[in-house]
Amino acid sequence: MSHELIEPDLALLQAGKVLIDVRAPVEFRQGSLPGAVNLPLMNDEERHRIGIEYKQAGQQAAIELGERLVAGDVRRERIAAWQALLERHPDAIIYCFRGGLRSRVAQQWLAEAGMPRPRIRGGWKAMRQALCARIDAAAEQPQLVVGGLTGCAKTSLIQSLECGLDLEACARHKGSAFGRHPLEAPSQIDFEHDMGRRLLELPGPLALEDESRHIGVANIPLTFWRGMQRAPRIRVEMPLDWRLEQIHKDYIADLWTVYQGQFGDWLGWSLMRKQLSSALLRLRKRLGSARLARLQRLQELAFREHERGNPKAHEAWLAPLLTEYYDPMYRYQLEKHSDQHFLHVGDWDSCLAAARDWAASATPA
């Protein structure tokens, strides 16, 4: 029982199991499994030293160094951290990179402390392979891509569908220069793992927003993205005033809510201003110097008005940003791909209804 192994089954993630990741923090930051808590057997420095010992003197010498480094009070502290988590989540499961020595040691120490828990056969690597395989398989599921001008609330439409897969949520990015989330973006591995986890709940047709392959710093896996390119499309068309309200909600109101909640009034306001002004500056090449300078002046005036209690003042720079930058860019892409066929073109409500009809027809009886 103290060395129990369980298979790398994605049902563990569907069940919301808490996972004890005993890899070093540097490995965890590069990519973890959904539901994992990093309680390492070795910290980064200890792992580094053991790695050098392994290269210079072999496996046995590395094991012996590890036993010396993680001993006494250090060992007791590591075990106590695992025990504290297991007291809150008694069915938690252990894993390391390949399900080998580190998770086996953690499992043995916990068993000796009277808290035996299983570990995942093949560890992180086996579970990652299963998640990536799920993404590749999803490329063959029926897909519907939702397009439209910026501000047409395509993300909200996707979120309103039972078959919707919100890739921007996986990337923590709204997919434009102004779409960066206040919280740190996930690593590429974590983006893929979140995407794979969400796909576990979506075995049938999939509705997705029209995206380039890059969403912020994340890349949609190539096989899946090619599936999106082959998919039928619908296009949302809404008037400028309606879209402007949506853009204001996304770029100003919702952004401020997150910044204020995370950092408080003063720092949150400073960070939001910095993000929005930096996003505008990143469009310098496409806007041109004169247009950029005009929008920067309007943006600065809007910040001042916002501080006086008038957040709607941002529409003065958001409106020309839509009409002079985003709209022409989208229409250019439409002309460039004039062979694209749209199953439906209409307002938001009609596109939602069309997407639901498509999902019903694409679901096997």
pLDDT tens digits, 147-172:
999 999 999 999 999 999 999 999 98
Do residues 152 and 238 touch, judged by C-beta distance below 8 A?
yes
In a domain, 233, yes or no: yes
| pLDDT for 38 | 97
Q: Is residue 118 in a domain?
A: yes
pLDDT tens track for 193-206: 999 999 999 999 99
Strand segments, DSSP code E, in 79-167 are 93-95, 119-120, 143-148
Is residue 222 one of the residues assigned to a domain?
A: yes
Q: Where among 131, 150, 171 does a domain terminate? A: 131
pLDDT for the residue 64: 87
In DSSP terms, 233 is beta-bridged to: 145, 342
- Statement to judge: residues 121 and 189 lie in one domain: no
pLDDT exceeds 50 at position 352: yes
- Asked if residue 244 is part of any domain, the answer here is yes
Q: Of 181, 311, 158, 324, give the one whose Cα is nearest residue 248.
A: 311
Nearest C-alpha neighbor of 208 from the set 218, 216, 220:
220
Q: Is the pLDDT of residue 58 over 50?
A: yes
pLDDT at 229: 92
Identify whether residues 109 and 155 lie together within a single domain. no
> Is there a single domain that holds both residue 113 and residue 219?
no
pLDDT tens-digit map of 329-339? 888 888 877 77
Q: Which helix (H) or strand (E) holds 130?
A: helix 123-138
Confidence band for 55, pLDDT divided at 50, 70 and 90:
confident
Would you state the structure tokens that stand for residue 195, as one six-digit string? Answer: 């995407």
Asked if residue 161 and residue 103 are part of one domain, the reply reads: no
- Domain membership flag for residue 100: yes
Average pLDDT, the chain: 92
Residue 148 sits in the same domain as residue 172: yes
- Domain final position from 131, 152, 169: 131
Task: Calculate mean pLDDT across residues 345-350.
Answer: 97
59 and 154, same structural domain?
no
State which of 111, 131, 151 marks the end of a domain. Answer: 131
Is residue 239 a part of any domain in this protein? yes
For residues 111 and 183, membership in a common domain is answered with no
Those residues with Cβ within 8 angstroms of residue 363's Cβ, 6 or more apart along the chain or in another chain: 204, 205
Q: Which pLDDT belongs to residue 256?
A: 92
Domain that holds residue 279: 141-365
Q: Are residues 122 and 147 in the same domain?
A: no
91 in the same domain as 147 = no
Output the domain CATH number for residue 90. 3.40.250.10
> What's the number of domains the chain is made of?
2
Q: Which helix (H) or strand (E) holds 263?
A: helix 254-263
| Pick from 161, 159, 41: nearest CA to 107 | 41
69 & 216 share domain? no
- 220 by Cβ neighbours in 10 Å (0-12 / 13-18 / 19+) ranks as buried
pTM for the predicted model, two decimal places:
0.90
Residues with active-site annotation: 96
Of all residues in the chain, what percent carry a pLDDT higher than 90?
A: 78
* Banded pLDDT at 101 (limits 50, 70, 90): confident
SS3 call for 239: coil
| pLDDT of 181 above 80 | no
121 and 152 share a domain? no
Q: Answer yes or no: is 57 within a domain.
A: yes
**For the ranges 62-66, 71-75, 161-165, 331-335, the one whose mean pLDDT is highest:** 161-165
Residue 136 lies in a domain: no
119 plus 29 within the same structural domain: yes
